Amino acid sequence: MDNVFILLIALVIDLTLGEPPNAWHPVAWLGKLISWETKLSPRAGKWRQLTYGIGMVLITLGLLVISMYFACAYLKEIGTVSYVIVAGVLLKFTFSLRGLRQAANTVRKSLAQLDLAQARGSMYALVSRDTTKLHQGQLVSATVESAAENTSDSFVAPLFYFLLFGLPGAIAYRIVNTFDAMMGYHGEWEYLGKFAARLDDVANFIPARITGIIMVLATGICERNTSQAWHIMLRDHKKTQSPNAGWTMSAIAGALEIQLEKVGHYQLGDNHRSLSVETIDDSLKIVYASAAIWSLTVILVKVVYLATT
């Protein structure tokens, strides 16, 4: 039952306390490490950058996960209670549900006050696209898209790997996802981050599809359009450049009967309802319902596994 208590502790910490300051956040420390490693990268030569990027990800991943594995083993020897508490705290750092809600609500508050400049500035906590020219509807769309995608990246996926491989699995996923967030983009460092981006695509392949299905189920709890969520998810999930993001974004677009759009890239869903600040509220209800479904599923699987072994 250790893993069940570890998960419960992590969930309680996240929902009640949220994220600590960056000075105390292991993911922020990881970000500083990645930034330092990036500075040592070759400035030219795509193959040199690609090779360095592969080595950077694999060495960092291996060292941190192996260290965490032996640290957990040592804590278990000291005592079960101390291990469960420390592991629960560490697991919390691999996901962020309250932080996602707060980031989305910050944008919502600015939009409700018709402060588009502030809303555009707040969007940088959610998306990497240029937000300087987005109008209100596009800001709402980007917020809903991010909430949907991050339900998978920031919650379902870490717990999926925790379910399969315990705490080291969740930590390994968070490391890969952080590398992708910091390096997996086009531009000067495209080849440096190419391996991280592809590895993140592989890591999120199953969780993204699980999340899409869970979101369809969550529409029943939230009294939204379940059949439309399923239909739009199956119809539009391939429209995004990412092989994974389209599943969750199209599911929530169908559920809310809205059209989500990243100009020049994709349009998801049908424009039956207009985008407003209330759309953000509705999307967060689906996000939280999905998180509840997934949390209960993980706990149930763990309990059933223990009962049958």
Q: What is the pTM of this model?
A: 0.94
Between CA 59 and CA 105 the distance in angstroms is 37
Q: One-letter amino acid identity for 118?
A: Q
User: Angle 63-90-193 (CA atoms, 0-180°, nearest 5)?
Assistant: 45
Identify the CA nearest to 126 among candidates 292, 280, 275. Answer: 280
Name the one residue in this structure whose structure tokens are 């030219």.
44
Identify the CA nearest to 33 among candidates 57, 66, 67. Answer: 57
Neighbours of 265 (CB within 10 A): 10
- List, for residues 99-114, the tens digit of each pLDDT value: 999 999 999 999 999 8
Q: If you count them, how many residues does the chain have? A: 309
Write out the E strands in 50-166. Answer: none
Question: pLDDT truncated to tens, each residue of the chain (309 aa)?
Answer: 889 999 999 999 999 999 999 899 999 999 999 999 998 988 888 899 999 999 999 999 999 999 999 998 898 898 899 999 999 999 999 999 999 999 999 999 999 998 888 988 888 777 777 778 888 999 999 999 999 999 999 999 999 999 999 999 999 999 999 999 888 775 666 789 999 999 999 999 999 999 999 999 999 999 999 999 999 999 999 999 999 999 999 999 999 999 999 988 999 999 999 999 999 999 999 999 999 999 999 999 999 988 887
